[in-house]
Amino acid sequence: MAGLNEPRTHRRIDMNENENKIADFNRRDFLKGGSAATLLTMLGGVELFAQTNAAPAEAKAAGPKLRIAVIGLGTWGREIVNTLARLPKAEVAAICDTYPASVRRSATAAPGAAQTEDYKTILDNKDIKAVVIATPTHQHKDLVLAALKAGKHVYCEAPLANSIDDARAIAATAKAAKQVNFQAGLQFRADPQRHFLVPFIRSGAMGQSLMARAQFHKKQSWRQVSPKPEREKELNWRLSKETSAGLVGEIGIHAIDQATWFLNAQPVAVTGFGSLALWKDGRDVFDTVQALVEFPGGVFMNYNASLANSFDGEYEMLYGSDAAVMMRESKAWLFKEVDSPLLGWEVYARKETFYQETGIALVANASKSVPANPQASAEAAITSTPLAYALTTFLKNSADLGAAVEDALAVIGPDDPEQLAAQIAKVPRLPAPGYLEGFQATVLAIKANEAIQAHQRIELKKEWSELS
């Protein structure tokens, strides 16, 4: 049975208790002929997780690495450098920031990378095939457009931009640049754990969609300090209305976009509220926000985020008439209604308890003979994050597209753009958020922020998120 044989990688001791219960209870249940519903209630929450190919770190570094540069080395940019440095298919060729201290700090993770304060040296370097743009949001557009023009594959952090016009410019340019790969930093969309959930949810296993909920609670200031006032203003771009779409733009965009993905629908309206409750330090961006996103068919999503309280951290939920699904970090659990049909596999699945609810682990391709979970290790902790999966997908799609373009140019020649385009269109790609998903998510986040700032309901016009 999968639950008994899995390695003891989980920190929670109730897992062991549950596993013993599974063994005992199944024997008793079999003997007594007890109901499956009783079984599930007794056994605790069941975890959902994708049994993917092993974590990227385990793949041998076969074949060439993609030479990639990171532009923008703030907290998240450095996280990207750390992650890339551990991915077998990446060679961090250059790191760039206008602030020298940030460049030096990032060099520890990527000692072989060229260090520069001028992004143009990266774009002029023909050996560097891809760039990650992780600068403050309001600086994305110029960099992305220049990188695409220079023929680089581009990973642009989400939100794409702070204005719909800028986001549209990025998306339109990416759309036209057929010979390079563009991926938006909506890392949930490249996460195999979540990919597994999409068909599961769409299969109707949850019954009728009712509502969605997500939260981000983390008590933190977001303010960074610097002895130089100019630098301090730069560092704190997130705290100014001019340069930041606030919590919903920088954080909520992922959860809200995920809901559009799972529900397979664009919202029709968004209502928002917010306040500066705790961090009254001169910022004009709210530290506590609420947004209600309306989907077609009477389905609503409630999003709240706060920098003033940490209870229960960050998670997303989707509610259906037969079950609810909770997603936390890279894990997911199914909570079944007592009267919902038995799917069958959940009898053997691992379970966990949340509050007083039992969650069933959702495991893609689970079988009793396959180990339930890769061994946790320090490497896996870094290389199994949604960001690691997103970057791995970007590296693969970029490398494959780059090779296909090179080969097509060599075989067909450059003088027949129609044929080249036809050839390039055939290149298989791993699922990833492209320019359209990035653009639509950005528009939604910008409008949600507007609603929050004005304490208003905004009806979302279709043409705002359409690309011609």
The reply on whether position 409 binds other proteins by CB under 8 A is no
Contact 260, 239 (CB under 8 A): no
> Least distance to other proteins from the beta carbon of 311, Å?
39
State which of residues 23, 101, 370, 467 lies at the interface with other proteins (CB under 8 A).
370
The reply on whether position 4 binds other proteins by CB under 8 A is no
> Least distance to other proteins from the beta carbon of 369, Å?
7
State which of residues 98, 347, 423, 458 lies at the interface with other proteins (CB under 8 A).
423
Stretch that binds other proteins, among 98-106, 219-227, 235-243, 400-408 (CB under 8 A): 400-408
The reply on whether position 327 binds other proteins by CB under 8 A is no
State which of residues 232, 407, 459, 466 lies at the interface with other proteins (CB under 8 A).
407
Helix crossing, 100-107 with 75-86: angle to 10°?
30
The reply on whether position 428 binds other proteins by CB under 8 A is yes
> Least distance to other proteins from the beta carbon of 387, Å?
19
Site for other proteins in 16-55 (CB under 8 A): 53
State which of residues 17, 24, 38, 64 lies at the interface with other proteins (CB under 8 A).
64
CA distance 31 to 333: 28
CA distance 96 to 73: 7
CB closer to other proteins out of 380 and 408? 408
CA distance 239 to 223: 7
State which of residues 13, 62, 176, 378 lies at the interface with other proteins (CB under 8 A).
62
The reply on whether position 412 binds other proteins by CB under 8 A is yes
Stretch that binds other proteins, among 256-264, 327-335, 368-376, 378-386 (CB under 8 A): 368-376
Stretch that binds other proteins, among 107-115, 310-318, 331-339, 396-404 (CB under 8 A): 396-404
267-278 in b/e burial notation, b at 16+ Cβ within 10 A?
A: beebbbbbeeee
Stretch that binds other proteins, among 66-74, 189-197, 414-422, 435-443 (CB under 8 A): 414-422
> Least distance to other proteins from the beta carbon of 428, Å?
4
Helix crossing, 14-32 with 36-43: angle to 10°?
160
> Least distance to other proteins from the beta carbon of 423, Å?
4
CB closer to other proteins out of 223 and 429? 429
The reply on whether position 130 binds other proteins by CB under 8 A is no
> Least distance to other proteins from the beta carbon of 413, Å?
8
State which of residues 4, 277, 411, 467 lies at the interface with other proteins (CB under 8 A).
411
Tell me which residues touch other proteins (CB under 8 A).
53, 59-60, 62-64, 369-371, 396, 400, 403-404, 407-408, 410-413, 415, 419-420, 422-423, 426-428, 430
